[in-house]
């Protein structure tokens, strides 16, 4: 049986008080609507329709070809929003999942279990519910003796007996598709808000004698809908806990999970140890037996096995097996380190390839460069890659030695085994095994230091007398 999906993403989200459209606010690095679409993909949804309204173009740009779109031009209620998918889906046979685009914590296992219950029991509708210790403010699920859902009663309409019910509506549903759209056609806006409430569909189906079931999730966090920044932080907390627990279950050590930030989609190998204050983001892939932190920030970076990174920032980089980075290093996009490379403190690498065994131990900048095997780059050495108009490359051959405070003015090629003397500004190519020195000859003036001190002292005293 085909599975269809309707994602409600048309609300403006005024309580977010943000220029960013609500469902595009990220949770653990991914917009909320992205998490919802991921879940629908996991349950192998055949068609997905995202209902858009405010911020439609932003949502369409992000979602792209992952779904079809239907526009809710006027905000006339949730029932009206779902009905906008009618022209696309109402002639389909199958099960339709209706889900809110601001519920990023829905788990695939729960949605699969709800769909399975719906299918096996032949229900017209199945809704997801949750049991709360303090259900105040939420619609209560009223069941009959058979355990079927009779109706959803909003908090303000509850009798004392209904107010004591702990089971609340979690806002995710499965429907027989044709029965869903037939019932939507009967929903009216005869209420105080003059809106078409989607929950009225449940009552309409019950009046028609249809079976309506409830699937109570075992994870109460799944029902959280994000309507303000407080709920956004709660969703972030729950999602981060899930992600961290999964990594630990897979053999990753998190010294302090509460202060470790790993975004969804990051891959980490077994026996890697992550110290507090570390953030792994985006499409980062980490091998086995690595060590991070404390206080590393790594984004969209591929890291090999046995790598050690301390108090450093990496973005769009590649780090080979057995390399070390930091502390206080910065690997920018295009930085590629082969195996057993050492990057020390206050070193910046950008759009450069460093081959196996290279050492850049401290206070250096290597940009737009190719550095051969076993090259040693001394303290304060830099590649001068920008002339004010264009970027130029520096090529350094295997086994070369670059002394401290050497400026390599690109475009420049330094041969294999070449030796660049400390303090030099190199502007011409250096052949294999040559030594290059480019600095003024030192001149010592005997006794001149005392003369300078006397001169400065006299000037100081003269100034003081004048005052």
Binding-site sequence positions: 8-11, 22, 72, 77-78, 102, 139, 154, 169, 227, 332, 350, 365, 376, 385-386, 404, 422, 439
- Annotated binding-site residue numbers for UDP-N-acetyl-alpha-D-glucosamine: 8-11, 22, 72, 77-78, 139, 154, 169, 227, 332, 350, 365, 376
20/311 Cα distance (integer angstroms): 31
Provide the H-helix boundaries in 122-199: 160-163, 177-184
**408: buried, middle or exposed (CB in 10 Å: 19+, 13-18, 0-12)?**
buried
Q: Which residues, at least 6 apart from 190, have a Cβ–Cβ distance to it below 8 Å?
A: none
Dihedral sign, Cα of residue 304, residue 259, residue 226, residue 14: negative
Q: Per the residue annotation, which of 247, 362, 392, 428 is the catalytic one? A: 362
Query: How far is the CA of 300 from the CAs of 276, 365, 436, in angstroms?
Result: 20, 21, 39
Q: Which two tokens stand for residue 428?
A: 């011409």
| Nearest alpha carbon to residue 414 among 182, 403, 423 | 403
β-strands 261-262, 279-281 pairing = parallel
- E strand segments, 112-270: 125-131, 140-143, 149-153, 167-176, 212-216, 253-254, 261-262, 267-268
247 is catalytic: no
- Annotated binding-site residue numbers for acetyl-CoA: 385-386, 404, 422, 439
Yes or no: say if 59 and 24 are a contact pair by the CB < 8 Å rule: yes
**Residue 368 backbone zone (phi > 0: left; psi -120 to 50: alpha; other: beta):** left
Where b means 16+ CB within 10 Å and e means fewer, 377-398 reads bbbbbbbbbeeeeeebbbbbbb
Torsion (CA) 352, 355, 361, 364 in degrees, nearest 10: -20
Q: Which two tokens stand for residue 377?
A: 């780059």
| Nearest alpha carbon to residue 340 among 357, 317, 352, 326 | 357
Q: Which residues, at least 6 apart from 115, have a Cβ–Cβ distance to it below 8 Å?
A: 3, 43, 95, 97, 126, 174
Yes or no: say if 32 and 25 are a contact pair by the CB < 8 Å rule: yes
Yes or no: say if 293 and 275 are a contact pair by the CB < 8 Å rule: yes
Instruction: List the catalytic residues.
Output: 362
């Amino acid at each position: 049986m085909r599975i269809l999906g309707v994602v409600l993403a048309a609300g403006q989200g005024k309580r977010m008080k943000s220029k960013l459209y609500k469902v595009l606010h990220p949770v653990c690095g991914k917009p909320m609507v992205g998490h919802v679409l991921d879940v629908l993909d996991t349950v192998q949804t055949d068609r997905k329709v995202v209902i858009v309204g405010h911020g439609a173009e932003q949502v369409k740009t992000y979602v792209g070809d992952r779904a079809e779109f239907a526009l809710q031009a006027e905000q006339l209620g949730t029932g009206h929003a779902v009905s906008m998918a009618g022209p696309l889906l109402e002639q389909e046979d199958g099960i339709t999942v209706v889900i809110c685009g601001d519920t990023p914590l829905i788990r695939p296992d729960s949605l699969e279990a709800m769909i399975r219950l719906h299918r096996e029991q032949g229900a017209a509708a199945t809704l997801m519910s949750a049991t709360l210790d303090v259900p105040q403010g939420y619609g209560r699920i009223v069941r009959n003796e058979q355990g079927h859902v009779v109706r959803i009663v909003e908090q303000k309409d509850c009798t004392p007996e209904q107010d004591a019910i702990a089971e609340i509506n979690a806002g995710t549903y499965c429907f027989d598709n044709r029965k869903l759209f037939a019932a939507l056609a009967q929903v009216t806006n005869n209420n105080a808000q003059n809106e078409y409430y989607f929950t009225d569909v449940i009552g309409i189906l019950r009046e028609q004698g249809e079976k309506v079931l409830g699937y109570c999730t075992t994870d109460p966090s799944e029902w959280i809908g994000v309507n303000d920044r407080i709920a956004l932080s709660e969703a972030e907390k729950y999602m981060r806990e899930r992600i961290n627990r999964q990594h630990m279950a897979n053999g990753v050590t998190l010294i302090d999970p509460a202060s470790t930030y790993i975004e969804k989609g990051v891959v980490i190998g077994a026996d890697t140890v992550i110290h507090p204050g570390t953030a792994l983001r985006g499409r980062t892939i980490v091998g086995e037996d690595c060590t991070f932190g404390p206080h590393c920030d790594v984004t969209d970076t591929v890291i090999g096995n046995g790598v050690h990174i301390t108090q450093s920032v990496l973005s769009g980089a590649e780090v080979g097996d057995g390399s070390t980075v930091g502390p206080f290093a910065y690997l920018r996009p295009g930085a590629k380190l082969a195996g057993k490379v050492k990057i020390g403190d206050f070193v910046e690498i950008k759009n450069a390839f460093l081959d196996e065994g290279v050492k850049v131990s401290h206070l250096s900048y290597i940009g737009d460069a190719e550095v051969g095997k076993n090259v040693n780059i001394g303290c304060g050495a830099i590649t001068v890659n920008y002339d004010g108009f264009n970027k130029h490359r520096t090529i350094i051959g295997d086994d070369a030695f670059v002394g401290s405070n050497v400026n390599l003015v690109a475009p420049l090629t330094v041969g294999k085994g070449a030796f660049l003397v400390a303090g030099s500004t190199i502007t011409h190519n250096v052949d294999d095994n040559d030594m290059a020195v480019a600095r003024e000859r030192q001149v010592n003036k005997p006794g001149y230091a005392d003369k300078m001190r006397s001169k400065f002292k006299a000037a100081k005293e003269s100034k003081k007398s004048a005052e």
